[in-house]
Amino acid sequence: MKHTMDRGGLRHWDEKDTRLEAAHILDLMESVYDGETRQVTPFLTLAMRDWVEAVLKKEHLAFIAEGGFPEAERVRILLGPWGEALDSKEADVSLLWVRPVDLHAQLEHRQILGSLMALGFRRDVLGDIQPGQGGYFVASTTEVAQFIINHWTQAGREKIIVSHFTEKPVVNSDQGEECRVTVNSSRMDAVIANAFRVSRSVAQEWINQGKVRRDGVVVSKAETEVQPDNMISCRGYGRIKLLECSQTRKDKTAWQIVLFRSQRH
């Protein structure tokens, strides 16, 4: 019998185009149920990714996110029947390496994205755009990667060379902002709230939504204690490198941290 997805959740989206995108993803989920075949979404925004993952957990479908970069913000989600082992390679994400013909020229993010959009590409076939040494890495769907290589010759005023990139990308590291936060305890939610200047309830919501990782592992409890040298990532907002802590005269804990704010694409 054909499985029918509950479409009531589409009311979450106000804009017509976003609602249509969400409806298409529900169609993909129905295809997985009905044919037990794997499906893959377009590249999703952070907001759409959160919504899709919530629906997938409710519907008990297997899924894996892949964006071409560690901690990628824009990802494709591979869907499969419950209990099935999924391989991120099947998400069909390709990495492209873009550099200027003039070795003295400097490319900018806006040039990269603007020139790709001018070629007629939709944003949902493009993932994150990250700077590397001497150029930029661009994540795209495998379906359009070769076309981009063949036809993308200029970004802004600069002539460019584009090729497939098959190694692990080394992106330019953000030096981050070193600062000090003072908390009542070293609980995960307290440190996150103070570092990003949000309320404890917001920090707890991020944790409940699976957005928080410590050293690459998802954190499920707000009361988890942090330790020196932990790297805390909050999807869509940035990362926190914990350096050292000390006690204040008022029996609070002062953490020296490096804050890396997210650059959304």
Q: Which domain-ending residue is among 90, 117, 145?
A: 90
229 and 251 co-located in one domain: yes
59 and 116 co-located in one domain: no
Rounded CA-CA distance 258/178 in Å is 4
Question: Residue 24's pLDDT is what?
Answer: 95
66 and 110 co-located in one domain: no
Cα angle, residue 49 at apex, residues 187 and 189 outer, rounded to 5°: 10
Rounded CA-CA distance 215/212 in Å is 10
Rounded CA-CA distance 165/96 in Å is 5
Question: Residue 174's pLDDT is what?
Answer: 66
Whether 3 is in a domain gets the answer no
The boundaries of the domain holding residue 33 are 8-90
Residues 6+ apart with CB under 8 A from 19: 10, 13
129 and 182 co-located in one domain: no
184 and 113 co-located in one domain: no
39 and 78 co-located in one domain: yes
Question: Residue 2's pLDDT is what?
Answer: 67
Distances (CA, A) of 103 to 95, 134, 154: 21, 8, 14
Whether 169 is in a domain gets the answer no
Distances (CA, A) of 162 to 67, 145, 150, 165, 245: 19, 10, 8, 9, 46
Q: Which domain-ending residue is among 164, 185, 220?
A: 164
- Look up the CATH number of the domain holding residue 210: 3.10.290.10
Whether 145 is in a domain gets the answer yes
Question: Residue 265's pLDDT is what?
Answer: 40
21 and 86 co-located in one domain: yes
- CA atoms 208, 211, 212, 214: torsion sign: positive
200 and 237 co-located in one domain: yes
15 and 66 co-located in one domain: yes
Whether 172 is in a domain gets the answer no
Whether 170 is in a domain gets the answer no
For the chain, 265 residues long, give each residue's pLDDT as a single digit of tens.
567 778 888 988 888 889 999 999 999 999 998 887 899 999 998 889 989 998 998 888 999 999 999 878 899 999 999 888 999 999 999 999 999 999 899 898 889 999 999 999 999 999 999 999 899 999 999 999 999 999 999 999 999 999 999 998 988 766 678 899 999 999 999 999 999 999 999 999 999 988 898 887 889 999 999 999 999 989 888 889 999 999 988 889 999 999 987 754 4
Provide the domain count of the chain.
Answer: 3
148 and 189 co-located in one domain: no
Rounded CA-CA distance 86/174 in Å is 32
66 and 102 co-located in one domain: no
Whether 204 is in a domain gets the answer yes
Question: Residue 263's pLDDT is what?
Answer: 56
248: number of CA atoms within 13 Å, CB side?
Answer: 13
Whether 150 is in a domain gets the answer yes
Question: Residue 141's pLDDT is what?
Answer: 98
Question: Residue 7's pLDDT is what?
Answer: 86
Question: Residue 83's pLDDT is what?
Answer: 86
- Look up the CATH number of the domain holding residue 78: 3.30.1370.160
